[in-house]
Amino acid sequence: MSNSSPTPLEFKVPYGWPAPVYNFEKNPLTQEGVDLGRRLFYDGRLSKDGGFPCASCHQQIAAFGTYDHNLSHGYNYSHTLRNAPPLQNLAWQKLFGWDGAALSIEQQCLKHINSVIEMGDTVENVLNRLRLDNSYPTYFKAAFGDETINADRMTAALTQFVLTMVSSNSRYDKVMRGEATFTLPEQTGYDIFKVKCASCHTEPLFTDNSFRNTGIPVDPFANDFGRFMVTSNSADISKFKVPSLRNTQKTFPYGHDGRFFFLDNVLEHYRSGIKDPAADPIVRNGISLSNYEIGQLKAFLYSLTDTGFINNRHFGEF
């Protein structure tokens, strides 16, 4: 690697999207910073036993969520209490995690490392392992100007990498740009979506990033009360972040604890499964959906699958 300055990268806002909320001035994207973050993302040494890199819970096949099982796995093969949410379009988020406990991506990275049921270690232990690797000082120097390896630089690089995970080229996006047209079921589903779903799953991100109680009963084993565990405000009991519907075809199982393995399960919950009188008023009385409407709605939701994002080699392991 040369001793030249890091190579700046432009963050491109997709057509028709709002401005991102992330402050890129405090952590400008560079090619070397993104490359370092990518190496760290796939490096098991960020976990106590080397077996649980970031990518173990955030898998590209699932838009960087947890694929195929309900609860994410952590150190010593323990189960966490939640299903890891997909990592996509993070530059438009202000709070992170299902409960919004982290105020920044950088803070969220540290929470995962320090959690005894996730990566199971201390940040200093992780940094010491990286310092013992002959290659990492060179990578840190390329990204930040010298060989110093510290927590701020590690989380800055990880953040730069995950910020590049922008999913904006699904069939839906191509239709919005005038490059394609919906099939009849997709168009019918889109019309249903705009009437019955869009108040929470706002375009183009397909989330309003709010926290809502959608009537999912509390698991007595986990006793997970969501946003309430952060704020201690009784009004926040059982509120969780509204997930984006982008790539929802690939991000099963669904819900904060992955209790819904199929989209049909989710839609049936909204149609007839909400029993909590404290559920958000938007869904408290259920959402009227016929079997036909569910079929058309699913056709539209599948149009949000961004295969280019899921197969992008720049997001994969080196």
Amino acid 140 reads F
Q: Let me know how many helices (H) and strands (E) the chain has, helices first.
A: 12, 2
Is 197 annotated in some ligand binding site? yes
Q: Hunting for tokens 């432009």 — which residue is that? A: 10
Nearest CA to 6 among 134, 157, 165?
Answer: 157
Burial of 2 (0-12, 13-18, 19+ CB in 10 A): exposed
Which distant-in-sequence residues (6+ apart) come within 8 Å of 207 by Cβ?
200, 201, 241, 242, 243, 244, 245
Q: Is 109 annotated as a binding residue?
A: no
Query: Is residue 200 annotated as involved in ligand binding?
Result: yes
> How far apart are the C-alpha atoms of 315 and 309, rounded to whole Å?
8
Would the annotation count 57 as a binding residue? yes
- Cα dihedral across residues 144, 150, 156, 161: positive or negative: positive
Closest-CA residue to 197 (of 210, 211, 207): 207
Instruction: For residue 55, give the nearest of 34, 95, 65, 156 by alpha carbon.
Output: 65
**What residue numbers does the annotated binding site for heme c cover?**
54, 57-58, 197, 200-201
> Which residues sit in the known binding site?
54, 57-58, 197, 200-201
